[in-house]
Amino acid sequence: MTQIRVELGEQSYPILVEPGALEMAAQHLQGFAANKRLFVLTDDHVGAHLLPRLQHAFAGSAIDLVVKSLPAGEASKSWRQLERVTDWLLAEGAERSDTLVALGGGVIGDLTGFAAAIVKRGCNFVQIPTSLLAQVDSSVGGKTAINSSVGKNLIGSFNQPRFVLIDPLVLNSLPDRELRAGYAEVVKYGLINDARFFEWCEANSEQLLNREPDALSEAIVHSVRAKALIVGEDEKELSGRRALLNLGHTFGHALEAETGFSDRLVHGEAVAAGMALAFRYSVRRGHCDAADAERVAAHLKAVGLPHSLASASVQASGARLVDHMMHDKKMSGGTLPFLLANGIGQSFLAKDVDLADVAAFLDESA
């Protein structure tokens, strides 16, 4: 069992990483059931596998689980589903002292966290992330949001959970593609500021993707520690420190927009291709050795992740991709900050990137 703390003063909270923790959920969450009940949000896919296990964990406890299941998929991060959730909570008489439990991946975590921020001006929530991506990234750090017709994650708030319960064993039922997509976010921590962890990824990716428990737990603990540290330093992405977590996301966002935020290219796959592009673009600008960019792309390719425009099946022009980037919420005063790298484990925020140059680079990369 490993416990990691996100240090945010009064909003600090623990993250528990423990194989089998789902079965012990009643013990871990009893302190949050202020009114002898917990409001659980899940989706139809996760709920089918994991809700019975959560309910079993609470059987015989004095705590009621009041459950709402939403359709699985990104489309649930919508005003419509938010309204359904908040109406349900109000109809059930949820109070500010109550706690919502997000049992699911990033979609459920984001929606639950945002609902918790606004119902009665705020109640508590805890995360039980069930995808690798949610375990190593979205469940930690308090970014909560829904999508708008203009773009992804544009309506939301920073709202920290009270507790995050991570059971690596729940990943055993995760589809291979989702596991691999989540792995892209694991690799990201190595590329940001930890070259030794990238080496670890190169040496252990096979075991991890074969779901060997030790490799999975080590990757999750390492990633969560890295993220907790960064969030503790820059909760609201003001100093540039937390922005490092967006490595690969600006290029990736353009690829996701071009593919309609659909199953053609899921988020982690777009981030993988985006990280490879960020490294190649860093070479073009003279920041990074070509050998490092090739090594990054080679690792992503070796694990079956997209590592170029072609392998992400994106054929759009550079101008079109840059146009997608300009709808990114990180646009500031007409410029877009980019995460670039001086090498593996040496990422930095560049605020002087010329979007016409990015478009030319993307045309050359096609």
From the candidates 180, 222, 253, 307, which is the catalytic residue?
Answer: 253
- Residues in region 48-107 near ligand GLY by CB under 6 A: none
Cα(276)–Cα(336) distance, integer angstroms:
19
Cβ(31)–Cβ(176) under 8 Å? no
One symbol per residue from 231 to 260: x for binding ligand GLY (CB under 6 A), - otherwise; what is it? -----------x--x---------------
Minimum separation from the CB atom of position 96 to ligand GLY (A): 26
Annotation says 246 is catalytic: yes
Q: Is 314 in the site for ligand GLY (CB under 6 A)?
A: no
Q: Which residue is nearest to ligand GLY (CB)?
A: 245
Q: Is 143 a catalytic residue?
A: yes
Site for ligand GLY in 334-353 (CB under 6 A): none
**For this structure, is 242 an active site residue?**
yes
Closest among 279, 132, 285 to 198, alpha carbons compared: 279
Those residues with Cβ within 8 angstroms of residue 66's Cβ, 6 or more apart along the chain or in another chain: 37, 38, 39, 40, 92
Give whichever of 67 and 350 is closer to ligand GLY, judged by the CB atom.
350
In the list 104, 141, 190, 345, the residue contacting ligand GLY (rule: CB under 6 A) is 141
In the complex with ligand GLY, which residue's Cβ is closer, 47 or 252? 252
CB of 140 to ligand GLY, least distance (A): 7
Beta carbon of residue 142, minimum distance to ligand GLY (angstroms, whole number): 8
* Residue (98 or 237) nearer to ligand GLY, CB: 237
User: What span, in angstroms and rounded, lies between the C-alpha atoms of 207 and 178?
Assistant: 16
DSSP labels, 166-227 = E-GGGGGGS-HHHHHHHHHHHHHHHHHH-HHHHHHHHHHHHHHHTT-HHHHHHHHHHHHHHH
Which lies closer to ligand GLY via its Cβ, residue 6 or residue 300? 6
C-alpha to C-alpha distances, 338 to 116, 242, 352, nearest whole angstrom: 31, 13, 8
Q: How many CB atoms lie within 10 A of CB 231?
A: 23
Query: Among positive and negative, which fits the CA dihedral 200, 206, 211, 212?
Result: negative
- Output phi, psi for 42, to 5 deg: -145, -175
142 vs 318, beta carbon nearer ligand GLY: 142
Question: Which of 43, 98, 137, 292 is in the footprint of ligand GLY by CB under 6 A?
Answer: 137
> Active site residue: 152, 267, 280, 324, which one?
267
Q: Which one-letter amino acid corresponds to residue 233? A: E
Is 124 one of the annotated active-site residues of the chain? no
Q: Helix 176-193 vs helix 195-209: angle between axes, to the nearest 10 degrees?
A: 170
| 77 has catalytic annotation | no
Specify the residue, 7 or 44, whose C-beta has the smaller distance to ligand GLY. 7
Catalytic annotation present for 299? no
Q: Is 267 a catalytic residue?
A: yes
* Nearest CA-CA partner of 108 in 153, 139, 132: 139
Our CA dihedral for 91, 96, 101, 104, rounded to 10 degrees, sits at 70
Among 28, 68, 143, 180, binds ligand GLY (CB under 6 A): 143
Listed ranges 135-143, 301-309, 338-346, 352-360: which one lies at the site for ligand GLY (CB under 6 A): 135-143
**Which residue numbers are catalytic?**
121, 143, 185, 227, 237, 242, 246, 249, 253, 267
Note the residues at the interface with ligand GLY (CB under 6 A): 137, 141, 143, 242, 245
